[in-house]
Structure 1
Amino acid sequence: MRSMILTSLLFTLSTTAMAGQVYTWVDKQGVSHFSELPPNGQASTIINTATPAPRPPASEKLPPSQTKDPEQETIERKVQHEVASQEAKRREFCETVRTNLAQLENNPRLRAQIKGEMRRLTEEERQARIAEAKKAIEHSCR
């Protein structure tokens, strides 16, 4: 355990000891250079690599209610209400279509009101309605 602590301490100290000076300067073309040796005949700045660079201050975030315009919040609530209403209508539609599909698939002797009169569906009409219901479910329901 003692050797582990000593090794950790030596490792930590060695990284700061190995951190040398870094020089930076800008040449005549405006290009920034970085080197461990200072440039000849040119002014340079020493960068301290032993200490971490200062972090920019964290911007204070306001609660969401204070960052939005009240008019924008009203619009967003209205849109959310409309979306929720449309989703409820879609779910109701899907439930109805699924119920109709189950009736069509499980009952070959169905009657429907066609052109004002009640009559029994032919097998072709029943299969066509089954196909329409499946297509509606595939298109609108998840």
Structure 2
Amino acid sequence: MRWMILAATLTLAAGSTASQAAQIYKWVDAQGVTHFDAQPPVGQSAQELETQKAVTPPPPPPVRTESSQEQQTVDAKVKKQIAAQEAKRKEYCETQRTNLAQLQNNPRVREEVNGEFRRFTEEERQARIAEVKKSIDDTCN
């Protein structure tokens, strides 16, 4: 909670002083209109106005506490889970690519149903090829 308050305070302080750090010029044109701008006019004299310079506060030192160690432990666990999921995804993709090759190269594909082998019709084989291609496109790319 204290860190959030400190971060909000630093953000507000930096934002309010940053707008005051730019150089401002003042001049009056031929019609008598006074102008203020960050760029002086070309071929005309301008008065340089004093502005406050922004003071950048030093960054807060990194905090090393037990919660940092706990966070590192959690991070390591999450990275391990992500690596395991990625390995499973790669294995699945490899299996699907093998299945696709078998379906495309073998017009006499069989499937085991209730302990008996049954041959796919051409329509079933083409439908299964489309399903496997979609699965590969959705998961493996």
TM value normalised by structure 2: 0.55
Q: How many Å separate the matches in 2 of 1:125 and 1:54?
A: 72
Corresponding position of 2:139: 140
Provide, for residues 6-50 of structure 1, a one-character-per-residue CA deviation record: whole Å limited to 9, x for no partner.
xxxxxxxxxxxxx89xxxxxxxxxxxxxx9xxxxxxxxxxxx838
Provide, for residues 59-97 of structure 1, a one-character-per-residue CA deviation record: whole Å limited to 9, x for no partner.
15438xx37621122112111111111111011101110
> 1:54 Cα shift?
5.2
Corresponding position of 1:75: 74
Percent identical residues: 51
5+ residue gaps, structure 2: 1-24, 27-35, 37-48
Query: More deviation in 54-63 or 132-141?
Result: 54-63
RMSD: 3.0
TM value normalised by structure 1: 0.55
Q: How many Å separate the matches in 2 of 1:110 and 1:54?
A: 75
Rg: which structure is higher?
Answer: 1
Determine helix, strand or coil for the equivalent of 1:69: helix
